[in-house]
């Protein structure tokens, strides 16, 4: 089982490069209080060069919110692993629910992105999760299985232990409705077991995402197979993110 603790900030389509730089400097101060917690930031693409400079001698990992599978080519609007690596990015979110449900990225597309990222030396932070309708129809496990199967069938077996999985119930993202501890326990237990039995390896870590806040994070971290959080809204405030780091350090 992973003993890693990762707190990943997903800034989504927020903040100009200048504003991202300011928040990044705030995170830099916060990182000095983090001993066991690894801080990761996924800003917008345009803020990556500025943050790359600001975070260059820090313990904070810089990443992107998506990555294409090809090295280069006719893929208008996309970005490759080497373009991200040029600015020191070490990871990328892949298959975030907003990519799957608003931009229509399929299980196959996101699994192919993960394969390309691994080939390009970028760690996939691979997001999965069910919609409210799927949960109400008792389809959660089935949905997670299909999303993981697509991933595992695409990536090389020897890279399986490098992938980080984020469980993000779609209905909990940005809604203030956090999943119950039982929901999280069941989903993370299933992800760990299914991933290991299918790929032969545990994922590097499994993060929970969906309305993580200083009010609920301590409880979430008590759940088995939760190795940290993927944080949207609360990561746009240095104060709230600092409180999450504080909780992580003590838990
Ligand atoms: P949220 O977003 O913390 O605002 O719910 C999480 C995410 O989308 O990764």
Q: Summarize pLDDT for 121-159 with one digit per residue, the tens.
A: 999 999 999 999 999 999 999 999 999 999 999 999 999
Ligand 1 binding pocket includes 230 (Cβ within 6 Å): yes
| Atom number of ligand 1 nearest to Cα 97 | 8
- Two tokens at 125? 């932070």
User: What is the per-residue pLDDT for 178?
Assistant: 87
Contact (Cβ atoms closer than 8 angstroms) between residue 35 and residue 69: no
The whole-angstrom separation of Cα 35 and Cα 138 is: 40
Q: Are strands 123-128 and 61-64 parallel, antiparallel or unpaired?
A: unpaired
Q: Report the residue among 7, 93, 128, 232 best suited for mutation to probe ligand 1: largest number of ligand atoms under 8 A from its CB.
A: 232
From ligand 1's centre to the CA of 164, what distance in Å?
A: 16
Does residue 75 have a pLDDT over 60?
yes
3, pLDDT greater than 60: yes
pLDDT in tens, 234-246: 999 999 999 999 9
Residue 177's pLDDT is what? 87
Average pLDDT over residues 150-172: 97
- What's the pTM? 0.97
pLDDT at 170: 94
Nearest Cα neighbor of 17 from 51, 63, 40, 42 is: 51
- Where b means 16+ CB within 10 Å and e means fewer, 49-80 reads ebbbebbeeeebbbbbbbbbbeeeeeeeeebb
Is the CB of residue 211 below 6 angstroms from any atom belonging to ligand 1? Answer: yes
SS (H, E, C) the chain: CCCCEEEEEECCCCCCHHHHHHHHHHHHHHHCCCCCEEEEEECCHHHHHHHHHHCCCCCCEEEECCCCCCCCCCCCCCCCHHHHHCCCEEEEEECCHHHHHCCCCCHHHHHHHHHHHHHCCCEEEEEECCCHHHHHCCCHHHHHHHHHHHHHHHCCHHHHHHCEEEECCHHHCCCCCCCCHHHHHHHHHHHHHHHHHHHCCCCCEEEEECCCCCCCHHHHCCCCCCCEEEECHHHHCHHHHHHHHHHHHHC
Does residue 227 have an active-site annotation? Answer: no
- pLDDT at site 11: 98
At 246 the pLDDT is 97
Mean pLDDT of 23-42: 96
Q: Which atom of ligand 1 is nearest to the CA of 230?
A: 9
Q: Which of 11, 229, 230 to mutate to test the pocket of ligand 1 (most atoms within 8 A of CB)?
A: 230
Atom 1 of ligand 1, nearest CA residue: 232
18 belongs to the catalytic site: no
- State mean pLDDT over 175-198: 96
Atom of ligand 1 nearest to the CA of 231: 3
**Which pLDDT value is given to residue 7?**
98
The answer, yes or no, to whether residue 1 has pLDDT greater than 90, is: no
Confidence class for position 174, pLDDT limits 50, 70, 90:
confident
Give the mean pLDDT of the chain: 97
Q: Which atom of ligand 1 is nearest to the CA of 175?
A: 5
Where residue 34 falls (left for φ over 0; alpha for ψ -120 to 50; beta otherwise) is beta
Torsions phi, psi for 190 (to 5 deg):
-65, -45
* 121 C-alpha to ligand 1 centroid (Å): 25
pLDDT for position 2? 62
Contact 23, 231 (CB under 8 A): no
CA of 206 to the centre of ligand 1 (A): 15
Which one is catalytic: 168, 188, 225, 227? 168
Q: Ligand 1 pocket: which of 99, 211, 220 to mutate (most atoms <8 Å of CB)?
A: 211
């Amino acid at each position: 089982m992973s003993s890693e603790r990762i707190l990943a900030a997903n800034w989504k389509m927020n903040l100009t490069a200048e504003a991202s730089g300011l928040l990044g400097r705030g995170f830099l101060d916060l990182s000095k209080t983090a001993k066991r917690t690894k801080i990761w930031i996924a800003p917008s693409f345009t803020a990556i060069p500025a943050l790359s400079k600001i975070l260059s001698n820090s313990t904070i990992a810089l990443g992107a919110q998506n990555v294409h599978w090809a090295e280069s080519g006719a893929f208008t609007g996309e970005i490759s692993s080497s373009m991200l690596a040029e600015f020191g990015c070490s990871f990328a979110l892949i298959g975030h629910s907003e990519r799957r449900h608003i931009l229509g990225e399929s299980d196959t597309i996101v699994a192919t992105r993960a394969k390309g990222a691994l080939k390009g030396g970028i760690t996939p932070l691979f997001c999965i999760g069910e919609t409210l309708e799927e949960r109400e129809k008792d389809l959660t496990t089935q949905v997670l299985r299909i999303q993981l199967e697509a991933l595992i069938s695409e990536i090389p077996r020897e890279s399986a232990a490098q992938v980080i999985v984020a469980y993000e119930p779609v209905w909990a993202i940005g809604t203030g409705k956090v999943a119950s501890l039982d929901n999280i326990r069941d989903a993370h237990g299933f992800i760990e077991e299914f991933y290991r039995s299918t790929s032969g390896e545990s994922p590097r870590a499994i993060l929970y995402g969906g309305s993580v806040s200083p009010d609920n994070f301590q409880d979430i971290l008590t759940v088995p197979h939760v190795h940290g959080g993927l944080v949207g809204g609360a990561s746009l405030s240095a104060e709230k993110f600092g409180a999450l780091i504080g909780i992580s350090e003590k838990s």
